[in-house]
C-alpha cells in the first residue's frame, strides 16, 4: 500500500505482536517507504481512537482480506 501512496501520503500500520512489528519495520525500510508508514504497537481500535482524539480523523474503510493470516486493510473513504 505504501508503495503506491503519494509522497505526502501516510499509512498507519497497527500491530499487536512486537516481533512482527520489528519484521514489518525492516520490510518498510527495505522497500524505501518507511517515511510514509507510521507503525503503531497495539490494537487498531486504540490507534484509531488516538488519531481521532488528536484531530487526525478521516473516513476509512476496513476490509478483511481472506488470505488466512488475519490481515486487515484500511483505506481512506473517497469524498462523494
Domain boundaries, the chain: 2-76
Q: Which pLDDT belongs to residue 73? A: 57
Tell me which residues of the chain have a pLDDT lower than 70: 57-80
Q: Which pLDDT belongs to residue 13? A: 84
pLDDT in tens, 35-56: 999 898 988 888 888 888 888 7
Phi-psi region at 51: left, alpha or beta (left = phi > 0; alpha = psi -120 to 50) = alpha
Q: Tell me how far apart the terminal alpha carbons of the chain are, to the nearest angstrom.
A: 22
Amino acid at each position: 500500500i505504501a508503495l503506491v501512496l503519494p509522497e505526502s501520503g501516510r499509512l498507519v500500520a497497527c500491530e499487536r505482536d512486537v516481533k512482527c512489528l520489528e519484521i514489518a519495520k525492516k520490510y518498510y525500510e527495505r522497500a524505501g517507504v518507511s517515511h510514509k508508514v507510521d507503525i503503531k504497537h497495539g490494537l487498531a481500535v486504540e490507534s484509531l481512537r488516538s488519531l481521532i482524539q488528536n484531530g487526525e480523523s478521516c473516513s476509512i474503510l476496513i476490509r478483511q482480506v481472506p488470505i488466512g493470516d488475519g490481515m486487515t486493510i484500511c483505506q481512506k473513504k473517497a469524498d462523494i
